[in-house]
Structure 1
Amino acid sequence: MTLSDYLIMVTISQYSSITMTADALYLTKSAVSHSLAKIEKELGLPLFNRSTKSVSLTTYGEQLLPFATAVLNEDRKFRDQIHSLQGLESGIVRIGTNSSICSNWIPGILNSFRKEFPNIELQVRSGACNQEIIEWLIRNEIDIGIGCSDANPAIDIEEVYQDEMICITDPYFRPKNTNYVVAEDVKKTPLLIQEYPYNEEVLKVLSNLNMTSDTCFTGYDDTTLIAMVESGMGYCIQGKLVMKRITAAVQVFSFEPKQYRNIAILLKHGIQQAAATKEMCRYIRNYAKNFPTAYELDLLFVPER
């Protein structure tokens, strides 16, 4: 039986009339009669006694009516919950991102969102590389990803912010031009880099600038790489956002030409997004739009250039 069948059965019991049921449901009298006959045939039981003036429930109909009513009530509850979610009265939003976005953006975004929508549950998974964020989306483990991605048929990508990729060196490094670094400046300096796929943004910079290094060392996270640079082991390449909350005795340089990573809102393609998810995307979009691109880093070492 379909929901329409249950509705017809319950409505007939309320009005005790095929004609009035048809009027209430905006159906023809013959459509109601046909549906009732189909229902009884499917169940193998007579549900209503018919007379020229009215219809009344049979014993079978009386026993089954509470269950038909319960089905309609549960359907109503389901639809009410959908309306509630669409009205942003309740729901959940799951966000996945990397450490630099999590530490710099997520607190501000979530605090603002919660003030307007206090009943929406918010969950954040962080510390991931871009590949992991995309995998989480595809497996429906998160609703929104914030990260970088090349074109992917499984993902909808909306770029919202350009984060400059910068060269991090020890305090004693001196490029030929004091304002920026080119490939030749670091050719003989060891490169400190995370293992794949955590290094995919750095690999793009190396490819764009045709940069090579005689020696490479790997580290397991951003802070480890910065500490290695600080101790004089080599240089590394990071998004500027990574350095915003790290205090270290290092130097930072732009590349020539400047390099960027495009931070984007990532959504699983082909999915109807809940109202809470759409609203969170709006908050992320606005936060990124107003987040500065020109800001000073809190370095322990400020070189004289």
Structure 2
Amino acid sequence: MNRYIALQKIIELGGFTKAADALGYTQSSISQMIASLENELGIKLLTRSRHGVKLTIEGTELFPFIERSIYQYRSMQEKANEIKGIETGVIRVGTVSSVTCHWMPQLINGFKEEYPNVQFLFHQGDYTLIPEWIASGQIDFGFINPLADTNLKTKTVKSDEMLAVLPKNHPLAKKKSIQLQDIATEPYILLEEGHYSEPMAAFEAAGIQPNIQYTIHDDYAIMMMVEAGLGVSILAELILRRTNYDIVCLPIDPPITRTLAVGYKDKDSLPIASKYFIDYLMEHKDELP
């Protein structure tokens, strides 16, 4: 299993030296592990070049099976720890930026009071990446809109309103609310959320094609661009909390809401630490902003 973990770390970090440092091995030990694994399988797994290390075609086909083996091994270890009464583990969770900033600190503080030895590993993604990471076993669960992936099992946590975001001196900034047709011709800055977007679904339902000028994967970069007068956007109210950007946030009529749920393949197969955390989250969801 250590050879599988070494291979995964090489792919994650892009090189043997970085993987060796991260895992506490020498570079020669890591190289020997991979050579031993390749000899056992009879397949060349990695190629090295001046651009770094990458999987061969054969290695690419085998790698998802190796990742699942690592996932099952870690789940077995955590189950053994649970049986021995040692409630430790690593919680691997996929999040979006608003959840990372405004939910996770509060949740982690409370959870660690009960389970102080649990560690957290965050993968920040979108409605496409997070389901893919869950499917591959790279993360245990993630926060998604249930409409973004109907193949996952989900538990709804909360819904929040989405707001129109405009420069402070924009002609529409003095309105009490914004209708989608008000901003149909405005330069629009789209938050890249993968294959599903709540604002784009609302535009489509209204028969409106927004004037998309920029597509960005970062909420805070969008706020800075709106502040600079480059366009308007629609963002979740949660991400707009506690910001000092010189922008105006207005409700949309009719409202657009975003539903966030915890998504996973099968709760029974989750590592025990992640099961406990999901249970803790659902018990305390009413306390979240």
What TM-score does the superposition give when structure 2 sets the normalisation length?
A: 0.66
CA contact (8 A) 1:88 1:117 kept: no
AA of the residue aligned to 1:232: G
Which residue does the alignment assign to 1:142? 139
Aligned in 2, Cα 1:275/1:88: closer, same or farther, shift over 3 Å? farther
Aligned in 2, Cα 1:90/1:203: closer, same or farther, shift over 3 Å? same
Which residue does the alignment assign to 2:32? none
Deviates more, 1:204-213 or 1:152-161: 204-213
Question: For the residues of structure 2 that align with 1:284 and 1:199, how far apart are their CA atoms?
Answer: 24
Aligned residues with identical type, % of pairs: 23
* Runs (5+) with no aligned partner, structure 1: 1-78, 293-305
Map 1:177-256 → 2, pairs under 5 A:
178-195=175-192, 197=194, 200-214=197-211, 216-256=213-253
CA contact (8 A) 2:166 2:173 kept: no
Cα offset, 1:222, TM superposition = 1.6
AA of the residue aligned to 1:96: G
Aligned in 2, Cα 1:147/1:195: closer, same or farther, shift over 3 Å? closer
Cα offset, 1:147, TM superposition = 2.3
Cα offset, 1:257, TM superposition = 1.1
What is the SS of the residue equivalent to 1:142?
Answer: coil
Aligned length: 214
Choose from 262, 266, 269 the match for 1:265.
262
Which residue does the alignment assign to 1:167? 164
Question: For the residues of structure 2 that align with 1:233 and 1:152, how far apart are their CA atoms?
Answer: 32
Choose from 85, 98, 121 the match for 1:123.
121
Which structure has the larger Rg over C-alpha atoms? 1
What is the SS of the residue equivalent to 1:115?
Answer: helix
Question: For the residues of structure 2 that align with 1:197 and 1:80, how far apart are their CA atoms?
Answer: 33
Cα offset, 1:237, TM superposition = 0.8
Cα offset, 1:176, TM superposition = 9.7
Aligned in 2, Cα 1:81/1:96: closer, same or farther, shift over 3 Å? closer
Map 1:41-190 → 2, pairs under 5 A:
82=79, 84-85=81-82, 87=85, 89-126=87-124, 128-150=125-147, 152=149, 154-175=151-172, 178-190=175-187
What is the SS of the residue equivalent to 1:111?
Answer: helix
